[in-house]
């Protein structure tokens, strides 16, 4: 039998790249979706270059992947973006980008792959954010998109569990990725101040290796200590 197939979004770097590499190391085939091609050299990796905020193309790509590769066993909705400022200072373009990438794209991708995942009794894993669980000053819109993803995943599990589909939300707190490159705050240096992308990837592998009759519906990953640096005239930031 051929290796199971996973579709992972946001594989150009950070958490998505780490998840793709971990899956490949565990004998999965991976189709990665992102705007930039990652540094992954593996014959079992296929890249699809796509702007996930383009809803029409997102809808079409699910059919193209299924036609080219067959049924999938895992969908990882990882791609995301965050803009943090007092809400009145966010541009409409920034709000639109967060809603489309963080929430709309996962809903559309899940819709497109769901029948295939029912056939394989597969897994849907959504990468959320700790911001979804608490109030998030200067990040209300971002937190809203991630909270929407969390609620969608929770409700979807109740809808599809009778068909054997497993749905899990992984909720990392501050994670050391390029996510912070365009922001005015970032995690301090030191392993205790940030989760690593590899930690999230390890959680994915543990979920896939769990007893088939038990579903872990949520995993929360937090650094041991909270420590943020700031660039320029940074807005205050809080996860609580």
Tell me, what's the pLDDT at 115? Answer: 98
Per-residue model confidence as pLDDT tens digits over 178-188? 887 878 777 88
**Global pTM value:** 0.92
pLDDT over 80 at 236, yes or no: no
Strand partners, 141: none
DSSP string across 39-91: S---TTEEEEE--TT-HHHHHHHHHHHHHHH---SEEEE-------S-GGGS-
Q: What is the pLDDT of residue 71?
A: 97
Tell me phi and psi for residue 222, to 5 degrees: -135, 145
Q: Does residue 26 carry a pLDDT above 80?
A: yes
pLDDT of 1 over the 70 cut: no
Summary mean pLDDT of the chain: 92
Say if residue 162's pLDDT is above 50: yes
Q: Give CATH superfamily name and number for 5-230.
A: NAD(P)-binding Rossmann-like Domain (3.40.50.720)
Choose the weakest-confidence range: 60-74, 120-134, 220-234: 220-234
Please give the share of the chain, as a percent, with pLDDT higher than 70. Answer: 96
Q: How confident is the model at residue 240 (pLDDT cuts 50, 70, 90)?
A: very low
Asked whether the predicted pLDDT for residue 226 surpasses 50, the reply is yes
Residues 196-223 have a mean pLDDT of 96
Q: Averaging pLDDT over each range in 31-35, 224-228, 230-234, which range is the top one?
A: 31-35
Q: What is the pLDDT of residue 128?
A: 97
Give the per-residue pLDDT at 82: 93
Query: Using CB atoms within 10 A of its CB, is residue 149 exposed (0-12), middle (13-18) or buried (19+)?
Result: buried
What is residue 184's predicted lDDT score, i.e. its pLDDT? Answer: 78
Q: What does the domain layout of the chain look like in residue ranges? A: 5-230
Q: 165 falls in which pLDDT band (50, 70, 90)?
A: very high
Residue-level length of the chain: 240
Mean pLDDT over 22-31 rounds to 98
Mean pLDDT, to the nearest integer, of 146-174? Answer: 97
Rounded Cα–Cα distance for residues 158 and 146 (Å)? 19
pLDDT score of 231: 76
Q: Which string of b and e fits 186-199 if b means at least 16 CB within 10 Å?
A: bbeeeeebbbbbeb
Give me the residues paired with residue 126 across strands. 77, 169
Query: Which of 239 and 53 is assigned the larger pLDDT?
Result: 53
């Amino acid at each position: 039998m051929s290796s199971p197939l996973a579709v992972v979004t946001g594989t150009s770097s950070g958490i998505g790249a780490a998840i793709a590499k971990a899956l490949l190391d565990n004998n999965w085939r991976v189709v990665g979706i992102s705007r930039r091609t990652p540094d992954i050299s593996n014959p079992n990796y296929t890249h699809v270059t796509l702007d996930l905020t383009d809803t029409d193309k997102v809808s079409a790509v699910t059919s193209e992947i299924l036609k080219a590769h067959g049924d999938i066993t895992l969908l990882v909705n990882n791609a995301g973006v965050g803009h943090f400022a007092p809400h009145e200072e966010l541009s409409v373009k920034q709000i639109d980008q967060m809603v489309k990438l963080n929430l709309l794209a996962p809903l559309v991708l899940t819709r497109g792959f769901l029948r295939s995942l029912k056939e394989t009794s597969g897994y849907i894993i959504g990468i959320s954010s700790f911001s979804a669980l608490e109030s998030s000053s200067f990040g209300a819109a971002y937190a809203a998109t991630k909270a929407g993803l969390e609620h969608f995943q929770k409700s979807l599990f109740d809808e599809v569990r009778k068909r054997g589909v497993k749905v899990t939300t992984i909720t990392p707190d501050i994670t050391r990725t390029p996510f912070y490159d365009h922001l005015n705050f970032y995690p301090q240096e030191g392993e205790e101040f940030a989760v690593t992308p590899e930690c999230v990837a390890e959680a994915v592998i543990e979920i896939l290796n769990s007893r088939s009759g038990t579903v872990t519906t949520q995993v929360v990953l937090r650094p041991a200590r909270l420590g943020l640096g700031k660039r320029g005239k940074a807005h205050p930031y809080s996860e609580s």
